[in-house]
């Protein structure tokens, strides 16, 4: 079983991967100019710089989307580690201890799917600690 993180952290991880990939592509593209490969080197540099720039723009969009999702996420206290975590949807994982959290009993995993490393905690929505605008 793949050890997963919370949904917000997964989106941020994809954004970081796109950022690093875009920067790597731009650095690879600069090799055409640095090693003086002539006209072909310049074309390689332009192509890789454009692809890298597009990748960086996509990562910026992913980070923006994750930020917007994060603002509307339900903030709860994890019963396992006691830290505040954000939950998207009906099931999610704690951002810190990776405990499976759910607010709906029908999404609670059955005993045969549960392992010793991860276990499910049933939560009630408690919005008393959330900031409410005046």
pLDDT digits (tens, 9 = 90+) for 62-79: 999 988 988 888 888 888
- Does 128 score more than 50 pLDDT? yes
- pTM beyond cutoff 0.75: no
Tokens of 16: 């970081």
What's the CA gap between 82 and 73, in Å, rounded? Answer: 18
- The per-residue pLDDT for 119 is 44
Instruction: Give residue 3's pLDDT.
Output: 64
Sheet order of strands, 120-122 included: 91-93, 100-102, 120-122
In this predicted model, which residue has the larger pLDDT, 107 or 14? Answer: 14
Parallel, antiparallel, or unpaired: how do β-strands 100-102 and 120-122 relate?
A: parallel
Provide the mean pLDDT of the chain. Answer: 80
More confident residue, 122 or 131: 131
CA–CA gap between residue 75 and residue 122 (Å, rounded)? 15
Top-confidence residue, 134 or 24:
24
Whether the pLDDT of residue 118 is over 70: the answer is no
DSSP 127: -
Give the mean pLDDT of 3-32: 88
């Amino acid at each position: 079983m793949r050890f997963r993180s919370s949904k917000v952290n997964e989106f941020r991880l994809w954004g970081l991967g796109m950022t690093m990939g875009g920067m790597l592509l731009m650095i690879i593209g600069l090799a055409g100019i640095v090693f003086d490969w002539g006209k072909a080197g310049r074309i390689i540099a332009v192509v890789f710089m454009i692809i890298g720039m597009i990748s960086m723009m996509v990562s910026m969009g992913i980070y923006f989307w994750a930020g917007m999702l994060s603002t509307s996420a339900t903030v709860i206290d994890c019963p396992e580690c006691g830290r505040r975590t954000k939950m998207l949807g009906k099931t999610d994982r704690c951002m810190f201890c990776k405990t499976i959290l759910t607010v709906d009993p029908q999404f609670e995993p059955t005993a045969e799917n549960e392992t010793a490393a991860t276990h499910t905690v049933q939560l009630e929505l408690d919005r008393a600690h959330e900031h409410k605008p005046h």
